Amino acid sequence: MIISPRPLGASSLSREVLAEDKKNAQKIGPCGLGDKAIYLNSFFFSRVFYAEYSKIDRIFKRVAISKGGFTGKGIFASIPYLVVLFKNGTEQQCNFKYEEQVDQLLNLFSEKHPDIKTISRDAERRLAAAAEKEKARYLKELSPEAEASVATLRGAQNILNARKELSDNLAYSAKLKRTLDSINPTYRITAVLIFLAAIGSAVFGIYTVMTKGLQDGALFVLFGIAFILFVMSTKVLPSGRNNKQYGDNRYTGAFSDMEEYLQNSGEFPIPAAYAHPIVITRLIRVIREGRAKSVQKALEVEKNNLKALNPSVRVTQEEHDEVVIVKPLFTVVDYKY
């Protein structure tokens, strides 16, 4: 271990134990989960801090989101964070590039440490209130057809939960494809031209510094490096994993894996394109609210619900957490299944 991570609060781990634990930690994004501690990032560097699990009160996701997420166009302008709240009242907030990685880390953390809560206190209160409010919306008694539909959907949910990684991969691939498809080709061409010009400026500046001195070439180097970093930060510059074909191939592979799995699991009540436990949960909710009796009708209602979401519609954090996962599954196939 070249750089030893710094403890957040008091620590009882020796340098040798810490080095071994960090080496074997499961890395997810800029953070990691070891047997002894969780490893957290700073704004620029991955896994530079650590905290022993006994010091943690709770750990949860925080999302900063701008307008425009639910239009069906463009991308979700959200910034995901992992927040670790300590028993002494302090907290550490870690920025992530991909929200899916925060969810993956929290799921794994919950499996390994079920005694530590993975939602904030505010979210806990909101969930309790929302559960009561949602319960009041449900019909006290369902028709036999509705009961049968709910039972069918619960069975389908169990099938998906048995291989949850397939659903997660399908949702991630759909969101990735949707994002890559939304990038205007003109923006990519412009980004490439700026990137090449920036490299040219940096190279010319370095040559000038070497031949004429620092004063003549420093500005070219600085401007070149600045624009290189700017273009890279826009995530528009094409690369091996940042192009439309990669998004298409990634989604096609995830969809094929899901189709193959469901074919071997018997008759499945909804199309493979929408096969995610959260979609099933939302369909059950539609039926229990009395807005549909059959699975097919519930699916149509859910499609209309998702289509109706736009920047003027205010949603709860819980609704947002569901929609950012399920809406790309529908929009990427244009709701056609």
Do 227 and 313 belong to one domain? no
Whether 2 shows a pLDDT value over 80: the answer reads no
Comparing 36-45, 89-98, 201-210, 297-306, which segment has the lowest mean pLDDT?
201-210
Q: Which amino acid is at 55?
A: K
Kindly state whether residue 160 falls inside one of the protein's structural domains: yes
Structure tokens of 160?
A: 């998906």
- Whether 219 and 281 map to the same domain: the answer is no
Q: How many CB atoms lie under 10 A from the CB of residue 74?
A: 12
DSSP state of 239: B
Which residues, listed in sequence order, are joined to residue 38 by a DSSP beta bridge?
A: 33, 51
- Residue-level pLDDT at 75: 41
The answer to whether residues 169 and 303 belong to one domain is yes
136 part of a folded domain: no
* Cβ contact 37:13 at 8 Å: yes
Question: How far apart (Å, rounded) are the C-alpha atoms in residues 127 and 15?
Answer: 41
Confidence category of residue 82, pLDDT binned at 50, 70, 90: very high
Q: 76 pLDDT exceeds 80?
A: no
Is 226 in the same domain as 256? no
Residues 251 and 302 in one domain: yes
Shared domain for 74 and 46, answered yes or no, is yes
Please state, for a pLDDT cut of 90, what percent of the chain lies above it. 42
Q: Is 27 inside any structural domain?
A: yes
Which CATH number belongs to the domain containing residue 13 in this structure? Answer: 2.30.29
Q: Residue 56 in contact with residue 36, Cβ under 8 Å? A: no
Name the percent of the chain lying above pLDDT 70.
90
Q: What is the pLDDT of residues 216-250, one digit of tens each?
A: 778 888 888 888 887 777 666 666 666 778 888 99
Let me know if residue 67 belongs to a domain: yes
Per-residue model confidence (pLDDT) at position 173: 92
Domain extent at residue 323: 142-182+241-331
When pLDDT is averaged across residues 24-31 and rounded to a whole number, the result is 92
Shared domain for 38 and 55, answered yes or no, is yes
Residue 101 CA to chain centroid, in angstroms? 6
Question: Total domain count for the chain?
Answer: 3
Per-residue pLDDT, 67: 47
Q: Is pLDDT of 260 > 70? A: yes
Q: In the predicted model, is pLDDT for residue 105 greater than 70?
A: yes
Identify the band that residue 106 occupies on the pLDDT scale cut at 50, 70 and 90: very high
Q: Same domain, yes or no, for 173 and 278?
A: yes
Per-residue pLDDT, averaged over 150-173, amounts to 92
List pLDDT tens digits, range 305-332. Answer: 888 877 666 667 677 788 888 999 999 9
Q: What is the mean pLDDT of the chain?
A: 85
What's the distance, CA 129 to chain centroid?
25
Which residues is 94 bridged to in the sheet?
A: 82
Query: β-strands 49-52, 56-65: how paired?
Result: unpaired
pLDDT digit string, tens, across residues 176-197: 888 887 777 777 778 788 888 8
Residues 307 and 174 in one domain: yes
Is there a single domain that holds both residue 151 and residue 22? no
From 98, 114, 130, the end of a domain falls on 114
Report yes or no on 119 lying in a domain.
Answer: no
Supply the pLDDT for residue 71.
44
Q: Are residues 216 and 301 in the same domain?
A: no
**Average pLDDT of 148-156?**
94
Same domain, 76 and 215: no
Q: Above 90 in pLDDT, residue 72?
A: no
